[in-house]
Amino acid sequence: MSARIIDGKTISADLRGKVTDAVHRLRRDRGIVPGLAVVLVGNNPASRVYVRNKSKAVTEAGLRSFDQHMPEDVSEAELLDLIARLNADAQVNGILIQLPLPPQINADKIIAAIDPDKDVDGFHPLNAGRLASGLPGLVPCTPLGCVRLAKTVHASLAGLEAVVIGRSNIVGKPVAQLLLAENATVTIAHSKTLDLPAVCARADLLVAALGRPEMVLGAWIKPGATVIDVGINRIAGEHGRPRIVGDVAHAEARGIAGAITPVPGGVGPMTIACLLLNTLIAACMQNGLPAPKI
């Protein structure tokens, strides 16, 4: 039997619609318009596309967009100065630094300079610590999207055997923390894991975030499991045309899993929707209002 496809496009459109409605109510009832500043450094073509898509989504949801474009050779001091100004600007509720940054910039130092209450990417060490401690805070967007997708399949994740492949600060670790907070039994696998197929075979819920094109094979997947494929890998397709694939061998996994996200059209669209949600939450927090339950 073929797995149910978890349609990230539809699910994210629904979330964006709900965020848009909540933003409208916030403006109408309180006169507050949440604002997001996306900082792009240099001319990396992929980063430019991401930033353009984010800005479009921000405007469509009724938020204010304060895009900042700095030259490739910007100094660390200049970037820190920009962040200090954005931290102090009451109209800016969220700050996102588009990664990667050029080599002269220490990304950790830049992320640590963002006001944690405006850290809509959830990468600030304080927010990472809050997540690990089970305290409220801003949570990274892609992991949040993964968990929301899994919850469209399972009403509760409690007690599920969850395996996360990847331990990056951006995806793997925060996904694992979120699944733990949902009372799943979580295993984190990584590049030094022995017998990855055997670890994957335990998973009722498998999250693949390793950045290796189609490495997770159908035979590794427990029949009926839910598979969330975070990977975005560009490979050469037919006639040398580039093709985007995930970290899971989708065609074969689809015959074994119970539900699976496609790539593209799975986790990707959820990331932007969760960024809008985080900006709304940040604006509410900064104005002493409860975070909307969306």
54 DSSP assignment: H
282 and 274 Cβ atoms separated by less than 8 Å? no
Q: Which of residues 267-286 bind ligand NAD (CB under 6 A)?
A: 267-268, 271
Alpha-helical runs (H) found in the chain:
8-30, 45-60, 76-88, 107-113, 125-133, 141-150, 172-181, 196-200, 250-254, 267-286
Residue 165 touching ligand NAD (CB under 6 A): yes
Q: Among 34, 94, 172, 174, which residue sits at the site for ligand NAD (rule: CB under 6 A)? A: 172
Q: Does 12 bind ligand NAD (CB under 6 A)?
A: no
**Other beta carbons less than 10 A from residue 281's beta carbon:** 26
Q: Looking at beta carbons only, is 24 or 234 nearer to ligand NAD?
A: 234
Question: Measured from the CB atom, is 210 or 259 closer to ligand NAD?
Answer: 210
Question: Do β-strands 233-236 and 242-245 pair in parallel, antiparallel, or remain unpaired?
Answer: antiparallel
Q: Which stretch binds ligand NAD (CB under 6 A): 56-64, 118-126, 220-228, 264-272?
A: 264-272
Question: Residue 241 CB, nearest distance to ligand NAD (Å)?
Answer: 19
124-143 residues near ligand NAD, rule: CB under 6 A: 142
Residue of 121, 204, 229, 247 with catalytic role: 121
Return the bridge partners of 64, or none.
Answer: 35
* x-or-dash string of contact with ligand NAD, 174-213, rule CB under 6 A: ---------------xxx-x--x------------xxxx-
| DSSP element (H, E) containing 94 | strand 94-97
Dihedral sign computed on CA atoms, order 91, 96, 98, 101: positive
| Torsion angle defined by CA atoms of residues 42, 275, 291 and 81, in that order, rounded to the nearest 10 degrees | 0
121 is catalytic: yes
The residue range among 14-22, 36-44, 73-81, 162-170 that interacts with ligand NAD, by the rule CB under 6 A, is: 162-170
46 burial via Cβ count (<10 Å: 0-12, 13-18, 19+): exposed
> Known catalytic residue: 104?
no
Encoded amino acid at 177, one letter:
Q
Catalytic annotation on 177?
no
Shortest approach of ligand NAD to residue 193 CB, angstroms?
Answer: 6
Interface residue with ligand NAD among 62, 137, 174, 231 (CB under 6 A) is 231
CB of 216 to ligand NAD, least distance (A): 9
Interface residue list for ligand NAD (CB under 6 A): 142, 165-168, 170-172, 189-191, 193, 196, 209-212, 230-233, 267-268, 271
